[in-house]
Amino acid sequence: MAQKAKTLRDLARMKRALAPGHRACAGCPFPVIVKLVMSATDYPLVVANATGCMEVTTTIFPYTAWPVNWIHNAFENAAATISGVEAAYKALKRKGKIPADKEIKFVAFGGDGGTYDIGLQALSGALERGHNFLYILYNNEGYMNTGIQRSSATPKYASTTTSPAGKVIPGKLQWRKEITDIIIAHNPAYAAQASPAFWSDLIRKVQKALEADGPSFINVISPCQPGWNYPPDLSIELTKLAVETKYWPLYEYKNGGWKVNYKPRKPIPIIEFLKPQRRYKHILNRPELIEEIQQEIERRWERLLKLEEAFPLKE
């Protein structure tokens, strides 16, 4: 069923993508993420989208960039909305109003605000109820649509408009919470973290998620050029650096087990990831704060390796 993309040429041929002309910022990586997700499969898709940059930039009436059925309801309820669509699909199939052999897959896209914060309850409910859907979190680590406010995905010391770096306070003071762990606590059919720089890994994860019987979740890093404040040609580079610095581990969870998909042989120090981003400008001359970030990255990485060792993923 699923298309196989092995080479960049295969990838370029994949047709199911956002139409050109959408209003995402120059360098915004979520159009790439959407293309990778939609191209990973030939199944007909129905997409629910939370309010946020993706919804706003892809659908300004009378235009739409979406080649598949798409519904936007509100900010905090993409998971509840898709669970309603999926429930309708099940019921109508059972009642013979949709042919029994008609397979449709359901995908929700939400930003980190719509997922970690305001939409966490709806997502938790939908996961617990076991709807058959894939939730893609495009994680730009802030409320970008409303002008770069902090979310609980915003990393420590990043400056945002509601956690500004000031004379006394060096940006956000809290660590971001580990949403993927929270999702895994629901024991979904499949969960993963991915990065658009590792595109074939991302495609493979989407395919696994869609084949899994039950709810699935993929947390995809999606740098925000205005929000992280870096040159727009660096977006994909940053999603690579995020992985090479262990800031953004690529891993997956299934059947109660973990697998770390990529272990950098020579991990790059976190400073290289932070340096191009002006949201960290105020700490670049504070090595103790950078060291603190590095330590936290090591702690989380070690924890992940221990989980993998103790509970290896079995297919």
Partner 1 sequence: MAKRKTTRMALTGNEAMAFAMKQINPDVVAAYPITPATQIVELFSKYVADGEVDTEFVPVESEHSAMSACVGASAAGARVMTGTASQGLALMHEILYIASALRLPITMCVVNRTLSAPINIHCDHSDTMGSRDAGWIQIYTENVQEAYASTIVGVKTAEKANLPVMVTTDGFVLSHSMESLDVFDDQDVREFLGQRKPLYNVLDVDNPITVGPLDLQDYFFEHKRGQIEAIFEAKKHIYDAHREFAEFFGIELPVFMEPYRLDDAEYAIVVLGSSAGTGKEVIDNLRDEKGMKVGLLRLRIFRPFPYEELQQVLGKVKYLAVMDRADSLNTMGGPVATEIARALYHLSERPIIHSFVYGLGGRDVPPENFYEVIEKMQWIAAGNTPDRMVTYVGVRE
Ligand X SMILES: Cc1ncc(C[n+]2csc(CCOP(=O)(O)OP(=O)(O)O)c2C)c(N)n1
The alpha carbons of the chain give a radius of gyration, in whole angstroms, of 19
Q: Give the rounded distance of the alpha carbon of 126 from its chain centre.
A: 17
CB of 120 to partner 1, least distance (A): 11
Residue 128 binding target from ligand X, partner 1, none, CB below 5 to 8 Å by type: partner 1
Give yes or no for a contact between 48 and 109, defined as CB atoms under 8 angstroms apart.
yes
In the set 86, 112, 201, 244, which binds ligand X (CB under 6 A)?
A: 112
Residue whose token pair is 């087990």: 257
**Cα(282)–Cα(276) distance, integer angstroms:** 12
Residue 146 binds ligand X (CB under 6 A): yes
Token pair listed for 289: 């704060």
In the set 76, 141, 201, 252, which binds partner 1 (CB under 8 A)?
A: 76
In the set 32, 36, 37, 53, which binds ligand X (CB under 6 A)?
A: 53
Binding mask 95-124 for partner 1 (x = CB under 8 A): x-xx-----x----------------xx-x
Residue 98, phi then psi, degrees to nearest 5: -125, 135
Residue 185 binding target from ligand X, partner 1, none, CB below 5 to 8 Å by type: none
Residue 59 binds partner 1 (CB under 8 A): yes
Question: 88 in helix, strand or coil?
Answer: helix
Closest by CA to 217, choosing from 243, 182, 244, 241, is 182
Surface-to-core class of residue 229, CB atoms within 10 Å of its CB (0-12 exposed, 13-18 middle, 19+ buried): middle
Residue 54 binds ligand X (CB under 6 A): yes
CA-based torsion, 136, 260, 267, 150: positive or negative = positive
Alpha helices in 117-211 (DSSP H): 120-129, 179-184, 199-211
Residue 126 binds ligand X (CB under 6 A): no
Residue 151 binds ligand X (CB under 6 A): yes
Q: Pick the closer one to partner 1 by CB: 106 or 251.
A: 106
Residue 187 binds partner 1 (CB under 8 A): no
Distance linking the first and last C-alpha atoms of the chain: 19
Q: Pick the closer one to partner 1 by CB: 19 or 169.
A: 19
Give yes or no for a contact between 130 and 253, defined as CB atoms under 8 angstroms apart.
no
Residues in the chain, overall count: 315
In the set 2, 14, 17, 129, which binds partner 1 (CB under 8 A)?
A: 129
Residue 56 binds partner 1 (CB under 8 A): yes
Residue 61 binds partner 1 (CB under 8 A): yes
Q: How many CB atoms lie within 10 A of CB 271?
A: 16
In the set 133, 135, 143, 273, which binds ligand X (CB under 6 A)?
A: 143
Residue 21 binds partner 1 (CB under 8 A): no
Q: Name the site residues for ligand X (rule: CB under 6 A).
A: 51-54, 75-76, 111-114, 140, 142-146, 151
Q: Name the site residues for partner 1 (rule: CB under 8 A).
A: 44-46, 48, 55-56, 59-62, 64, 66-74, 76-77, 80-92, 94-95, 97-98, 104, 121-122, 124-126, 128-129
